[in-house]
Amino acid sequence: MDIITISDLVVFYHVGVPDEERAKAQRLLLTVEMETDFTASAATDEIEKTVDYYSVSRRLLKMGEGRNWKLIEALAVEMADSLLREYPIKAVTVEVKKFVLPETRYVSVKTRRTQA
């Protein structure tokens, strides 16, 4: 399997357990690894035969509009499930980095989902 990676995409989502934390959008970093097969796209050099990572990035940027989550775990799983449904990928790994603990560089969660 081949992999397309979007590393540390900056998004602003409303996320956090307390209401006060969710009141203002927070900066998060998203890393998404999408497993696919490059055979057809490599042979034809056509974007239609692969995953359009620009489209994926736009989808992720818009995902937080008018939405909120208490847990970044719920966000990561929803994101992974959505990408599997919407794009021609066999498996996806999503990592969400949150900058909430001042004593750390970040806190992150990572989930992996595959096509059934």
What DSSP string runs through 63-86?
Answer: TTTT-EES-HHHHHHHHHHHHHHH
Number of domains in the chain: 1
Give residue 93's domain range.
Answer: 2-114
Summarize pLDDT for 33-48 with one digit per residue, the tens.
Answer: 999 999 999 999 999 9
φ/ψ (deg, to 5) at 108: -140, 155
53-59: average pLDDT: 98
- Banded pLDDT at 116 (limits 50, 70, 90): confident
- pLDDT for 15 equals 97
- pLDDT for 5 equals 98
Indicate which CATH number applies to the domain containing 80: 3.30.1130.10
Contact between 10 and 29 under an 8 Å Cβ cutoff? The reply is: yes
- pLDDT for 31 equals 98
φ/ψ (deg, to 5) at 19: -55, -40
Alpha carbon 42 to its chain centroid, in Å, reads 25
- pLDDT for 34 equals 98
